[in-house]
Amino acid sequence: MNKIIHSCLIFTFVLTATFHAVAQRQRDERPTIENFKGIQYTGDDSTFYINFRFRMQSRLRYNSLSGNDFSAESFEARIRRLRLRMDGYIYNPKLSYSIQLGFTRGDQDYDDTDVPNIVRDAVIFYNFTDNFYVAFGQNKLPGNRQRVNSSGELQFAERSLVNARFNIDRDFGIKAYYSPKIGSVPVHVKGAISTGEGRVANMTDDGLAYTGRAEFLPLGEFTNNGDYYEGDLEYEETPKLSIGGGYSFNDRTTRSGGQTGKYITTPLSLKTSFYDAIFKYRGWAYQVEYMERGVDDPFSTDEEGETIYAFKGKGINQQLSYLLSRDSGYELAGRYTWIKPHQDIGAYEAQTEVVELGLTKYFRSHRLKLQLNAHYQTKDGIYQTDHEGNNWSATFQIELGI
């Protein structure tokens, strides 16, 4: 509890200490209600506004049986995502909202909860100033960079395995966002107090989740908010860098992954830290992300009495890409992912590494693109193709949206 109080005091101090700095607009979570070009409606008295967007991802995926047996262990042919988003305001633009619905099974948290939850975001915002606003409702927590970025802004068909193991996803709660400048350096500070059980929670207990994140841009703002999407599609004329980090404490969660995972009978307290950076210059883009999760006793049981555990350990993900030409829209990218489980769960999990290559053709930035990815996954740090657990995978995906 002392750590929780200490973390909250630090966040409050940082937020208030920078209040007198020069303002810089925040971008990532705020609804899109300015300069929107698409399907929209404004009431006759201008006290109501709404716009509509959609996006979908059609995917083919192949997984090999092993590293030296290219027989198919599985095929995936499906609509990975199909989402509808509505942004707008009521009464005046200071009181805005964002709603996002997911219509595919993979978007509904169904496999872990048996609940077909189509609601991904349902959140109300209030803007005190142009650079300070709060949110109440369900949306993404201010966690690791790759998770905060939309899945529609990725240069690979899926986020990394590090994100899959450690991200804190969405939750219902109260969030605050503040973007000052310290001297000439833009800073983004974010914090949240949330239920800790994720999207499907119907009721909550006294065990809440506390999350804080800060980002520093020492070389100034990215063109067109480029720190919130992957790849240097703007072909930055001067180097741009964003450095971020944060911490989340989920107190007595009833799910194995905190906001995600299966329900457990004995609550766990998860401590997740994350550090990341993204750099872009003249078509080159590099990003790195480190995450670590701690839990005193990772083991519990599910509702059927089976032993279940929270993933405890650490991991790092690195991505390097180059946009071959702004006109052609072709991008080459490479990714290396490393995950090391803690010795407490060593009997159940092995060290995992993934090497991945990607080719993307952008037709209209991230709104319309073709993605072709191939990866090789290894276990225990052994790259020989005959090692148990090693395998190959290939993915082709089309993303289309507005």
Tokens 């948290």 correspond to 109
Neighbours of 164 (CB within 10 A): 16
CA angle 195, 161, 315 (to 5 degrees): 85
H or E element, residue 111:
helix 110-113
DSSP-derived pairing of the beta strands 185-194 and 170-178: antiparallel
Residue 386 has pLDDT above 80, yes or no: yes
CATH classification (class only), 2-401: mainly beta
Confidence of residue 108 (pLDDT cuts 50, 70, 90): confident
DSSP-derived pairing of the beta strands 95-102 and 72-90: antiparallel
Neighbours of 92 (CB within 10 A): 11
Residue 22 has pLDDT above 80, yes or no: no
100, 120 Cβ separation under 8 angstroms: yes
Amino acid (one-letter) located at 83: R
In this prediction the pTM is 0.89
* pLDDT (tens digit per residue) in 285-337: 999 999 999 999 999 998 788 899 999 999 999 999 999 988 899 999 999 99
* pLDDT (tens digit per residue) in 181-238: 999 999 999 999 999 999 877 777 789 999 999 999 999 999 999 999 999 999 999 9
Amino acid (one-letter) located at 354: V
H or E element, residue 161:
helix 161-166
Confidence of residue 44 (pLDDT cuts 50, 70, 90): confident
Residue 48 has pLDDT above 50, yes or no: yes
Give the closest residue to 296 by CA, choosing from 315, 312, 316. 312
Confidence of residue 35 (pLDDT cuts 50, 70, 90): confident
DSSP-derived pairing of the beta strands 180-182 and 170-178: unpaired
CA distance 392 to 376: 5
Tokens 């065990």 correspond to 207
H or E element, residue 148:
helix 145-148
* pLDDT (tens digit per residue) in 340-355: 999 999 999 999 999 9
Burial 95-123 (b: 16+ CB within 10 A, else e): ebbbbbbbebebbbbeeebeeeeeebbbb
